[in-house]
Amino acid sequence: MGSVGVETNGMDAREPVVDISVAIAPNDAAAAPGIQKEIAAFPDDVSQDDEARLALLEKARDLVRALETPRETMIKHLWAQTGCIPAITACQRLGVFHELAAEGGTPKFAPAIAKKVKCDPNLLSRLMRHIAAMGYIKETAQDTYKGTNFSSSLTIPVIYGGYNCLPGAMLEACNKFHEYGEEKNWIEPNTIDDGPLQYAYHTKLNLFEHLHATGYGKDFGLHMGGYRQGRPSWMDPGFFPVQERLVEGFDSSSSSDPVMLVDIGGSHGHDVDEFRRKWPEVPGRLIVQDLPPVIGAIDELDAKIERMEYDFHTEQPVKGARTYYMHSVLHDWPNETCLSILSRIKEAMKPGYSRLLINENVIPSTGAYWETTALDMMMIVLLSSRERTKDQWSSLIEDEAGLKITKIWCPRNGVESIIEVEKVE
């Protein structure tokens, strides 16, 4: 760790373009005073105004980025954040965060927790020390820690699930991406069985097959449930007009048992159950479809929601439904695979009646949100796929699949938009 001048595999031989002094000076010290003034202009309490909260949060990040030196940013990325993931994952699997939340969240002595969870006390002290140094738990005395809202949330399966599946079966694709890129001459990945994930894990399985083969499929399903928490929901007032676009015009005589909504690739049914709760009086059947291992892993789901095993490359068994719905499905696949999925839905849709709602990010041409660009990076390395812009969605859905986009309903920054699609005669 301490040596310098050692030849490193893949080391860039090009000369630096700036002096080393740049790396130990603030990134943008001149911007800091202006950012501080902007922060001071916010109201004292933004907790009830999510738009203001997010704007203030982004300004706080701007201030950190301005004041950090490049060297500090580098150490944060490569040591601090990288080291925090295994520390958090280990503590979650041991049950440390449950212990911190117990007894009203009073401060706990790390060696005492270690005894309860059967961990080497020296090891646990080191893990908790780093988690505290990163601000995720609070140090109240030597080897003594108090939980936070974040650490308490790590007792919730949909929040901690990702800390199991990403380190266990996914992040090596990120770690080896530079090797994959060099081997493939830096061509954009677009093949589902020969991408960065396959390179890193020496497999021909796609991500979902790989997750189930390695035992992390259920954790990934939980992680997707956590990702969706707190995101704009298309079923809420002011987003997509459910009453006007779906409920009104529903044909209860279209069959003996008409269907209101089919959630295709709906995992454990989080979305269709949310629809059931928020729109309890809507007519028609509600169905969640996914592969047999996913459907079989559903623990709890309201009896009104039908569970249906289905591979979306095969004929859609539900014909003429009012709504076919997909949430974060098409972003998992390159265009060729998406066209196969869309063709099966198109066959089942009733022209002028059925709606296809595609719940995905629509990346704006400028000012993309960091969560969306982060997800796009995951698409590159894990699935050889992408988050798409408005033009890319239009090209895929209209030009290639032969469907019609009625409207794109966008919340802030294009996050979790609804692309409303119809079949034309």
- From 71, 35, 70, 73, select the one nearest 56 (Cα to Cα): 35
CA separation for the pair 364, 362 (Å, rounded): 6
Q: Is 322 exposed, middle or buried (0-12, 13-18, 19+ CB in 10 A)?
A: buried
Determine the pLDDT at residue 318: 96
User: For residue 57, is pLDDT > 70?
Assistant: yes
Q: Could you tell me the pLDDT band of residue 1, with boundaries at 50, 70 and 90? A: low
Q: How far is CA 55 from CA 63, 212, 275, 415, in A?
A: 13, 39, 29, 15
- From 178, 185, 180, select the one nearest 196 (Cα to Cα): 180
Q: Is 127 exposed, middle or buried (0-12, 13-18, 19+ CB in 10 A)?
A: buried
190 vs 203: which has the higher pLDDT: 203
CA separation for the pair 349, 371 (Å, rounded): 33
What are 84's two structure tokens?
A: 């925090």
User: For residue 226, is pLDDT > 50?
Assistant: yes
Q: What is the mean pLDDT of residues 266-290?
A: 94
Determine the pLDDT at residue 12: 66
User: For residue 5, is pLDDT > 60?
Assistant: no
Per-residue pLDDT tens digits for 244-269 = 999 999 998 877 789 999 999 998 89
CB 341 within 8 A of CB 329: yes
Determine the pLDDT at residue 152: 98
Contacts of 179 (CB under 8 A, 6+ apart): 10, 199
Tally Cβ neighbours within 10 Å of residue 93.
12
Terminal-residue alpha carbon distance, the chain: 66
Determine the pLDDT at residue 75: 97
CA separation for the pair 265, 260 (Å, rounded): 16
CA separation for the pair 245, 419 (Å, rounded): 13
- From 99, 82, 93, select the one nearest 137 (Cα to Cα): 99
User: For residue 382, is pLDDT > 70?
Assistant: yes
| 92-96, 268-272, 330-334, 366-370: which is most confident | 92-96
User: For residue 325, is pLDDT > 60?
Assistant: yes
Determine the pLDDT at residue 2: 55
- From 412, 411, 406, 357, select the one nearest 242 (Cα to Cα): 357
Cα-trace Rg, the chain: 24
Q: Could you tell me the pLDDT band of residue 9, with boundaries at 50, 70 and 90? A: low
Look at residue 53 and give its three-state secondary structure: helix
Strand partners, 219: none
Residues with active-site annotation: 331, 360, 387
User: For residue 6, is pLDDT > 50?
Assistant: no
Determine the pLDDT at residue 28: 97
Determine the pLDDT at residue 324: 98
% of the chain with per-residue pLDDT over 70: 96
CA separation for the pair 373, 272 (Å, rounded): 26
Per-residue pLDDT tens digits for 21-50 = 999 999 999 999 999 999 999 999 999 998
CA separation for the pair 328, 415 (Å, rounded): 11
For the chain, how many helices (H) and strands (E)?
20, 12
Q: Is 153 exposed, middle or buried (0-12, 13-18, 19+ CB in 10 A)?
A: middle
Determine the pLDDT at residue 413: 65
Q: What is the mean pLDDT of residues 108-123?
A: 98
Determine the pLDDT at residue 141: 98
87 vs 12: which has the higher pLDDT: 87
User: For residue 4, is pLDDT > 50?
Assistant: no
User: For residue 3, is pLDDT > 90?
Assistant: no
CA separation for the pair 288, 163 (Å, rounded): 26
Determine the pLDDT at residue 232: 80
Q: Could you tell me the pLDDT band of residue 113, with boundaries at 50, 70 and 90? A: very high
Q: Is 141 exposed, middle or buried (0-12, 13-18, 19+ CB in 10 A)?
A: exposed
Q: Could you tell me the pLDDT band of residue 331, with boundaries at 50, 70 and 90? A: very high
Ranking 56-65, 109-118, 403-412 by mean pLDDT, the lowest is 403-412
CB 321 within 8 A of CB 263: no
* Class level of CATH domain 228-422: alpha beta
Q: What is the mean pLDDT of residues 362-372?
A: 89
Q: What is the mean pLDDT of residues 356-373?
A: 92
CA separation for the pair 21, 250 (Å, rounded): 67
Residue type, 379: M
CA 324, distance to chain mean position in Å, is 22
Domain ranges of the chain: 20-153, 157-226, 228-422
- Give me the residue label for tokens 């010290």: 29
CA 360, distance to chain mean position in Å, is 11
Q: What is the mean pLDDT of residues 115-141?
A: 98
* Class level of CATH domain 20-153: mainly alpha
- Report DSSP letters for 316-369, one per residue: PSS-S-SEEEEES-GGGS-HHHHHHHHHHHHHHPPTTT-EEEEEE-EE-SSS--
Mean pLDDT, the chain, whole residue set = 93
CA 124, distance to chain mean position in Å, is 29
